Structures are given as C-alpha cells and as structure tokens.
Amino acid sequence: MHRLLLVFVAASAASVLGLPVEDVSPPSDPCLAPLQWEGRWVSFDHSTGRNSRSSVSYDGLKQRVRVLQQNKKHTPCQRFFEYIFLYQSGVMFQIDQKTKDCSKIALTDAFDPFDIPKNSTFEDQYLIGGPGDSVEVQEWSDRKPARQHETWVGVYTLKDCYPVQETYVRNSSVTTSTRFFNLQLGISDPDIFTPPSTCQSARPQRMSDSSC
C-alpha cells in the first residue's frame, strides 16, 4: 500500500483490463506476496498528471525500500532522485542523482508492505493478455459492506503473488496508481539501502523536482 512512498515518487492507469475467468469461487484467504524482490514500476500521480518510471528494490523483512527514478532526457528541467526508505529507523533519504545532494526526512507513516492484507475483499480473478500469452491474476480491495467505495485496489498474480498494480482512492477520486513489472526474487546488493556519505550532512527539507 505505501501511501507515503507513492506520494513521494508519483503511477499509471487506474484499472487493469483482463479476460474474466469463469466460475471462480472466492478464495478463503489472499495469497502471500514475496518479502524481497527487485524490479521496475511506473507510477502515476493523478493530482499532478505526472508519470514516474523507476527501478525498485523492496525488502519487506527489514522494512526498507529503495527507488531509483529513471532519467528521461526529454525533460530538461526535471531533477531525478534516488529514494531510500528506512521504516525501522523512521527516515527517508532523497539523493540527487547528479549532484549527490541529500535530504533526510522523517517518516510519519508506519511501514505498509506490498501485499494483500488478510482482511481484504476478493473482487475478481481474470487473465491479463490474450490466448497463449496471458497471466492469471486476482484483484482485491479494502472495500467493506458498510462502505460503498474502496480506497485501495491491488492486483496480484495468482501463481506467485507478485504485485501487478495498486491503486489508491481518496474522496472517490483516484490519487495514485502503480504498475509493477520485470520483478525478480531477492535483493542483489544489500548495500543499496545504505545512504551515501553525502547524507551525513543532509538537509532536513525535501528537494524540488525541478531545477528551472
């Protein structure tokens, strides 16, 4: 879920379209998502209309996430950052990829893992893609009988419970949606969660996304 994380790094389409799977009985419990993985995501912030493409390393065991924004040269004024979220320490580091300037910001929200909470509501099961080239997924939400609208919708693969898409809603409007892809199990380099030496004298304010 990661509301704070997605606000900082901004993700794409509000829903995933797929072919329905007929006669699916609702599962008794959600699948268990992997605790450590690396991959990429495209995040779309609906309030700003901006996409953010990033490489991501996720460590649910130690409650830490590293996000490296992909540099798009056709946006000359935009600054690109590396974000290191250390939830057990309650801090987030924002590092300018070019200058290595660093900000250290307190995290006020608790760690919210990329998984399907056990009290989630099963919404649907369907195939993403076409005949002979499809992936079966399940869709879950935090919708409850006493509340008509959900504030979170998550789509996860049926086989290995990898995240495919997460969407957040506030006041009946989609705020952030994120698509995940090219995921691999494990963390290739644990040192990526260690802030660079420039963060020893980090500023306490978040840096601007624009250099113009």
Per-residue pLDDT reduced to its tens digit, 82-91 = 999 999 999 9
CATH code (residue 124): 2.50.20.30
Model pLDDT, residue 147: 58
The predicted pLDDT at position 34 comes to 98
CA 4 to chain centre: 10
State how many domains the chain has.
1
pTM (2 d.p.):
0.84
Of 42-46, 99-103, 124-128, 162-166, give the lowest mean pLDDT range: 42-46
Report the C-alpha gap between 10 and 21 in whole angstroms. Answer: 32
What whole-number percentage of the chain has pLDDT above 90? 65
Q: Which residue has the higher pLDDT, 16 or 151?
A: 151
> Does residue 194 form part of some domain?
yes
Q: pLDDT confidence of 21, banded at 50, 70, 90?
A: low
Question: Is residue 208 in some structural domain?
Answer: no
Does 210 reside within a domain?
A: no
Note whether residue 11 is domain-resident.
Answer: no
At residue 169 the predicted structure's pLDDT band, cuts being 50, 70 and 90, is confident
Considering the domain boundaries, does residue 19 fall inside one? no
Closest CA to 39 of 66, 6, 2: 66
151 within some domain: yes
- Does residue 16 register a pLDDT over 70? no
Asked whether residue 20 is domain-assigned, the answer is no
| pLDDT tops 50 at residue 9 | yes
With cut-offs at 50, 70 and 90, classify the pLDDT of residue 209.
confident
Above 50 in pLDDT, residue 15?
Answer: no
* Mean pLDDT, the chain, integer: 87
Q: Domain of 175?
A: 36-199
Residue 9 to residue 210: CA distance in whole angstroms: 14
155 in a structural domain: yes
Tens-digit pLDDT profile for residues 22-50: 666 778 899 999 999 999 999 988 888 88
Average pLDDT (144-150) is 71
Indicate whether 149 pLDDT > 80: no
